[in-house]
Amino acid sequence: MNSKFKPRPIIATFDNFKQREVVKSSAYKLKSSPFGLSVQYTPDVLAKRKQLLPIQREARAQQAKAVMIRDKLYINNELFDQIKHKQFLPKMETQIPNEKIEDIVTSDKNLFIACVYIPPVRSNFYKLYNCDLFVDLENSIELYSSLGDVILLGDTNSRTGAIDDFVSNDSIHSTIRNRLDDIFDYSADIELNVRNNPDNNTNCYGPKLISLCKASGLRILNGRHKNGFANDFTFCGANGMSVIDYLLVPVSLFPIVRQLIVSNFTTFSDHAFLHIQLSLLCNKQNSTPFPGDENGEKLSQDKFKWNDELKEQCRDCLLNNMEKINMCRERIDFDGQQLLDNSLDEFTSTLNDIMAPFFKKRTINFKSCRSNICDDKPWFNAQCKDLHRRYINCLNIFNRLKSQLNHSNLIRAKKDYKTLERRLKQEYMRTEGNMLDIMRLTNPKLFYKKFKRKASPKHAVPLKLFHEHFKSLCSSDTDAVLDDSQFNNTDGECVKQSVLNNKSPGDLYGYHLLKLLIGKSRTL
């Protein structure tokens, strides 16, 4: 046999498993010969072995005993565990196109970062809206991809396992490509390394997310980033752990993602937040710096607040600077967007210089180095504090080693703490409600005082306007003329007769006078 050619494989089938094992046990006799034996596995087993093969090589490189039997890997006579044998996980170096990072970072294309949340399958959202969110998301990505690059980030509730998010063997043969170059330009998917995903299970949303990646050109960066800090679970619930929070990035933008870290779990959420750091070159004209000094000790901000008292002075100042404003108006150039922006900036700067002495105010807020001290809730007793402390300890242990035992301890401690806290809160609210009912019956004044508005309401009408309004009503310059009604001698005698009664003058005098005036007003 010519050494230039390799021997062709021979496929053999056996009637029973015993014959197969006899042949396999004799494979050592072919060790010094150019022949050998290999087992043909199913596609599922081959996919699993393909995922475990880099780990086996890394373990052997670290002088560890690594043996693969079918779709299981044994390291030092122990079944491979994602957490226990974490030191043997290789750091994946992602294959990217041969492009310079400078060309990607300084690109003039827009970058759209979309934060998404897709409700679970059994969510009430789908009872209200009959739609497929993955189809809508794919349409939105297609729309914004025509305007720039798109990055997707968020909770998709999709478990993808070890499914490839690209089309394998997508390249067209050179002879066919040469014939079709004049018809259309086809770019094949780049085959990336296998994702280091600790969650090997899938759900109904997993294939949908994979189809979205294949259709849009986005790729899952979880488990592929070079720093190796994104190869962890992102969700921890009562039923287990999973990876459902992703960062989807086009292959061409892989170099600008400097950091992708799956952070530790906290007490605020059952999701681990993703820490992402991008390397971008921002346009200085379109970026607004955060106000403050270099040390960040104080923050300042300029505000313009209208003052009605300075209205006349501002008007006079505008009239005095009208020549400068007209010059800015005459220098407006409409030949290009950049020239128009410069003219607008000049006009705005001129107007600010005129108005600033009247209405500009600069506020400075100093950062407080004193941390806020939060008091415990009234129902938070000593037993609740002990359970909370135990819950925090279990959470820290789980973040250090995400094993099934630590997960069970964490879920149990969290359930005990939340159950006690909920019960104590309900008892406290029930007691407070009973006290308010008793107070409403026994001391209504104190009861309504608890619901009284603490801050005094601000009047909508300014005091100065209120004063000018009533001043104008009482002014002698008003145009309204009210003639006095005639008061004859008969009316006076009637009032005089009423005053001469034996009763007190104040009792009937005002009454008869008021009655007389009402009668006069009716006759008018």
Pairing between β-strand 235-237 and β-strand 78-79 as defined by DSSP bridges: unpaired
Phi, psi of 302 (to 5 degrees): -95, 135
Does the pLDDT value for residue 125 go beyond 70? Answer: yes
Domain ranges of the chain: 17-88, 107-278, 318-366, 382-450, 486-524
- Residue of 74, 152, 83 whose CA lies nearest to 112: 152
- Residues 254, 94 contacting (CB under 8 angstroms): yes
d(CA 391, CA 384): 10
Q: Is the domain covering 107-278 a CATH 3.40.50.1970 domain? A: no
Query: Within 239-336, where are the H helices?
Result: 311-320, 322-330
Tell me what pLDDT residue 242 has.
94
Virtual torsion, Cα 378, 379, 385, 390, nearest 10 deg: -140
- Residues 156, 119 contacting (CB under 8 angstroms): no
Query: Within 93-204, where are the H helices?
Result: 101-105, 125-128, 133-145, 174-180
- Give per-residue pLDDT as tens, 203-260: 999 999 999 999 898 999 998 888 788 889 999 999 999 999 999 999 989 988 988 9
Q: What is the pTM of this model?
A: 0.54
Take residue 197 and report the two structure tokens written for it: 């995903």
- Residues 199, 241 contacting (CB under 8 angstroms): yes
- Residues 66, 77 contacting (CB under 8 angstroms): no
Query: Within 26-115, where are the H helices?
Result: 43-61, 101-105
What secondary structure does DSSP assign to 371-403, as a single string?
A: PP-PPPPTT--HHHHHHHHHHHHHHHHHHH---
Side by side, the strands of the sheet bearing 66-69 are 66-69, 72-75, 78-79
Comparing 451 with 172, the larger pLDDT belongs to: 451
- Residue of 92, 54, 97 whose CA lies nearest to 226: 92
Q: Which long-range contacts (CB under 8 A, 24 or more apart) does 136-141 make?
A: 137/212, 138/212, 138/215, 138/216, 140/114, 141/114, 141/212, 141/216, 141/218
Comparing 182 with 260, the larger pLDDT belongs to: 260
Tell me what pLDDT residue 411 has.
95
Place of tokens 């109904």: 204
DSSP designation for 47: H
d(CA 278, CA 283): 15
d(CA 458, CA 306): 18
Average pLDDT over residues 7-14: 66
Residues 6+ apart with CB under 8 A from 401: 83
**How long a stretch of residues is the chain?**
524
Take residue 273 and report the two structure tokens written for it: 């937040």
d(CA 71, CA 55): 13
- Cα within 13 Å of Cα(502), Cβ side: 0
DSSP designation for 82: T
- Residues 280, 248 contacting (CB under 8 angstroms): no
Which stretch of 20-34, 44-58, 132-146, 405-419 has the lowest confidence by average pLDDT?
20-34
Query: Within 26-173, where are the H helices?
Result: 43-61, 101-105, 125-128, 133-145
- Residues 240, 207 contacting (CB under 8 angstroms): no
- 182 pLDDT band, cuts 50/70/90, is low
- Give per-residue pLDDT as tens, 275-302: 998 887 765 545 555 454 444 445 556 7
Take residue 120 and report the two structure tokens written for it: 């679970």
